Amino acid sequence: MVSVAERILELKKEKNAVILAHNYTSPEVQDVADYVGDSLGLSIAASNTDADIIIFCGVSFMGETAKILSPEKTVLMPEPDAHCAMAAMCTGKELKEFRESNPDYAIVGYVNSTAESKMEMDICCTSSNAVRVLESLRGRNVLFVPDMNLGAYAASETGINVRLWRGFCSIHHFITPARVRQLKEKHPGAFIMAHPECRIEVLELADHIGSTESMISAARTSDRKEFIVLTEIGMKHRLEKENPGKTFLFLEHAVCTTMKMIMLDSILDSLANGTGEIVLPENVIAGARGPVLKMIDLS
């Protein structure tokens, strides 16, 4: 009997599809993907693929970004209702109103935002290149949306005064210094890696700060054997897979249930029946494309 995973791989070949999966998705989803990575890597993979169909295993803003970069391709979300709560904290309408009242501000938007919001931005960024993006705007007044923690981190690294939106990722924002210290007390020799979506006081406890891909690289090159990883627990699968003999410790509450909505059955249904197609108006694609391409140029 053919398994669901095997049928997915058969259909993918038949339909010239590519499967992209974020590092926070479930292990079985990552294992059927052609590319597993962070938002920047996935964005680049989406723009470079020769496939006719992109199956995007992530949250909705990621599928929208893929459609913005490849409007001629069919982009399918296995779980179209998998919406990022942080992305919903900043709307295009709010940004348009801000721009009208503050025309001298450049708006930097984390890629974790809706397509409508991206239309109102000057440039997008990811956790990988937020610092570089801010540096490119030195001398300008800057509004950073929607993640106040990533914005605060990038501002601290550049010394640039940044106005912060009040958005956040609940997974990272609810990682507290006290929880980190408790885990460190139990594992005093562990190397601490933190995602810049965490609060500044948490980042101050880290040995390494970076995107999920940066963490993968740090773990691979480090001679340490034990790591405390301050990000979503889906990263555990790939870290262990690529670093045999090393131990990775996570805070047990750091689970994005939205990312975990995606299952093999939903991927199969999307491939077989074309469900979850991302459809964006032409004006939205045109308006959001520039800020996204600028982000990739600075990657």
CATH number of the domain that residue 202 is part of: 3.40.50.10800
Question: What pLDDT digit, counting tens, does each position of 37-56 carry?
Answer: 987 788 788 888 899 999 99
Shared-domain flag, residues 237 and 271: no
Shared-domain flag, residues 94 and 155: yes
**162 Cβ contact partners less than 8 Å away, ≥ 6 residues apart:** 108, 134, 142, 143, 144, 151, 152, 154, 155
Shared-domain flag, residues 236 and 273: no
With 0-12 / 13-18 / 19 or more C-beta atoms within 10 angstroms meaning exposed / middle / buried, residue 47 is middle
User: Which structure tokens are listed for 194?
Assistant: 């933190």
Confidence at residue 46, expressed as pLDDT on a 0 to 100 scale: 83
Shared-domain flag, residues 99 and 145: yes
Shared-domain flag, residues 97 and 121: yes
Rounded Cα distance, 60 and 66, in Å = 10
Secondary structure (3-state) at 72: coil
Shared-domain flag, residues 196 and 52: no
Rounded Cα distance, 230 and 233, in Å = 9
Shared-domain flag, residues 132 and 188: no
Rounded Cα distance, 41 and 214, in Å = 11
DSSP string, 238-283: HHHHHSTT-EEEE-TT---TTGGG--HHHHHHHHHH-TTB----HH
Shared-domain flag, residues 130 and 274: no
How many domains is the chain partitioned into structurally? 3
**3 Cβ contact partners less than 8 Å away, ≥ 6 residues apart:** none
Shared-domain flag, residues 105 and 157: yes
Shared-domain flag, residues 97 and 37: no
Rounded Cα distance, 280 and 139, in Å = 34
Range of the domain at 239: 171-250
Rounded Cα distance, 229 and 191, in Å = 8
Confidence at residue 240, expressed as pLDDT on a 0 to 100 scale: 98
Confidence at residue 39, expressed as pLDDT on a 0 to 100 scale: 79
Shared-domain flag, residues 154 and 181: no
Mean pLDDT, consecutive 10-residue stretches, the chain (299 aa), reads 94 96 97 91 85 96 94 95 96 97 97 97 96 96 98 97 97 97 97 98 98 96 97 98 97 96 97 97 97 93
Shared-domain flag, residues 233 and 268: no
Give the torsion sign (CA, 92, 155, 38, 235): negative
Residue ranges of E strands in 44-190: 53-57, 74-76, 105-110, 123-125, 141-145, 162-164
Tell me which residue has tokens 């989406």: 46
